[in-house]
Amino acid sequence: MFENLAGAHLLVILVVVALDVLALVQVWRDRRRSDVVKVVWTVLILALPMVGIVGWAVNWLLGRAADRLQRSGDGGA
């Protein structure tokens, strides 16, 4: 029943590290954010990997949705 427990742990760790790297790359590529905000997100993502990833993802997705709404509102005016 628990033969592959070590493999499952390794898979979870690899997924978390991959998501950390993705989040950090996206944070530092964002030109709209100041360096202070980027440093805060970096510390949060590295110090609390799961909380940081979820927080960044929600923030990123809400930012993209707001950009789309703003663009669609500008086109009609």
Band (32; pLDDT cuts 50, 70, 90):
confident
* Number of other residues whose CB lies within 10 A of the CB of residue 39: 13
What percentage of the chain exceeds 90 in pLDDT? 39
Say if CB 23 and CB 57 are below 8 A apart: yes
For tokens 């690899």, the residue is 14
Residues with Cβ within 8 Å of residue 60, at least 6 apart in sequence: 26
CB distance 27 to 41 below 8 Å: yes
pLDDT value of position 5: 67
Q: How does residue 2 score in pLDDT terms, banded at 50, 70 and 90?
A: low
The answer to whether 6 touches 40, Cβ cutoff 8 Å, is no
Least confident of 7-11, 63-67, 72-76: 72-76
Q: Is the pTM of this model over 0.75?
A: no
